Structure 1
Amino acid sequence: MSAQVAEDPPHELVLDIHDFNGLAAQRFTGYLATESRGLIAGYTRWREERYGFYARRDLPRPLAAFRSGEVAPPDFAGLYTLRCDGGPAALELLHVGDRRLSGHWRPPGGEPHQIDGEIDQGDPLLVRLTLSTPAGPATLTGSLFSRPKNVIAGWIDLPAARIPCYLLRIG
């Protein structure tokens, strides 16, 4: 494996795992959590397809049950725990038609905030969500895991920072 740390943003990591997954090298581009430093989340490409990934310092977790079939927009709907710098939040996404999503997120003990988003037309795993926050809108960009369909991994763009995150489906 080889790795590079970007200068801008300084917490972007590019990891190449050599002779892996049937490829000469598979590249993973991720972002290190700037507060906890215990999470990296981002994306990879395998044979021209984009996939989300996350890695965190924690005990190993059992793999989720396989959910067969191609990914469809309703697969994004559900109740999630959002994990990123700043602690967990509860999040609910609803499929409101075609590639559109809507819902809300709530920090622990806080008020709910609106979410609106859309699944990318050319990449059925890629979603962009606009999260209303007290400091203004933030954009979450993530990829749904294609087999268990229970995790969306990526990052949140804030006005002054990009932070890694993942959403773990709980219902």
Structure 2
Amino acid sequence: MRKIITYPDGRLREKSAAVDSFDDPLKNLAGELREIVSATNAMGVSAPQIGVFQRVIAVQREKGGILVLANPVISKEEGIVTDKEGCLSMPGFYIDLPRPARVTVTGFTVDGMECRYHATGYFARAAAHEIDHLDGILMWDHLEQEQRETAISSYLKLSLKH
């Protein structure tokens, strides 16, 4: 299992390329992402967090199981819910963050089949969070500048203690 890239590593800001080949390497990547979600009990993980800059995410589904999507896009958002959010790339750090209460996510399975999911609750939050990673967006980027600076400073102090 590859190591999770942690902040302040600049690779977390890189944009990921679209998946254009639904082959064995993609299936292997999907398996690795599922393994990370299971092993860490995380809500999700994205390929760029392990140094693979392809548009692939894995998220825990509310009804169980881990969903892996290639080229995911949020096509619809409804409502806003503020809740605690963490990130494997910022271990041990959590912030209150507004996210859509419900999202519709479209993408492709690792076999290249187009799919659509209607997500609510933590499934919606995880999908939005992991899709952000594909564009180099970190969770605190959604905060106002002063709050963002405070959050980054708090995380860096926390990370120095560990």
Normalised by the length of structure 1, the TM-score is 0.28
Which of 1 and 2 has greater Rg? 1
| Higher strand fraction (1 or 2) | 1
Higher RCO (CA-CA < 8 Å; seq separation 6+):
2
Normalised by the length of structure 2, the TM-score is 0.29
